[in-house]
Structure 1
Amino acid sequence: MVIINNHNEFEAHLGKEIGTSLWHTITQDQINQFAKATLDEQWIHTDPERAKIESPFNATIAHGYLTVSLLPHFWHQIVEVRNLKMLINYGIQEIKFSQPVVVDSQVRLTCKLDAIANLRGITKATIGVAMEIDGQKKPAYTGAVIFLYHFLADSN
């Protein structure tokens, strides 16, 4: 795990891979809970019997947005940012879904610091992300997320 205490330490990672999370298995229960929470209960996600017959994947698949929603969980496995007043999820850029995540697949996140800016004492970090699927050449998705870090004044 990478530990970052301030803007300067964050900036030292610019253009570099920061790390990779642990593997996480996407279960049918997790897919079903996400479907209920988002009111997206399309059969390709929630009906294993129908998916086995009608889906080109012969199984259910995770919602793309379910895989994206795991970003904070994976990010916190890779980086511990200390000395914070506040963290804000600021945006998502150019997420492109390359391959579906079939139920019971293992996924993990790889991150790189693509850009960083000091906005009057607030660190704006753009993190390039790729969600890998165990055993697959293509990632589930690639893109970038933007976080705003409000470090404590005396940590810079």
Structure 2
Amino acid sequence: MDATFFALVGLVLFLALLAYLKVPGMMAKSLDARADKIRDELAEAKRLREEAQHLLAEYQRKRKEAEAEAAAIVSAAEREAASLTAEAKQKTEEFIARRNALSEQKIKQAESEAVNAVRSAAVDLAIAAAEKVLVKKADDGVQQALFNASVSEVKSRLN
């Protein structure tokens, strides 16, 4: 009996002890439980992946809708800006036309006032010159007759 025999006996006893304590069944049960756990984790991972894909598709759809809405808003803003620009241009042109017309009217009025002032000054000058001429050439009798004629003419025009 050498050492290999005792090693063989020890091995057989060890295997018998393992069989008596049902270690292979516990190991199989443990491996089966671990396989079930891994299978459940894989199923959960698959479910989570499908859910993530569904969420991704939903977010992509929402992103496309948001992009379309943003494009519509930009388009509406561009149309409104163009409308406001055209309206502002039209109002500016109308304002300029009114200002030009008002300026032309003021120029005509100033021109008319200047012509009237010149006429008035010419009339005043002519009256003063006529008065000087009449004073030099007319005597008291002629002056009195002219004065009376002028007064009667004024009276007749006032009535």
Give the TM-score, by structure 1 length.
0.16
Q: Which structure: greater helix fraction?
A: 2
- The structure carrying a bigger strand percent of its residues is 1
Higher gyration radius (CA): 2
Q: Which structure has the higher relative contact order (CA within 8 Å, separation 6+)?
A: 1
Q: TM-score, normalised by structure 2?
A: 0.16
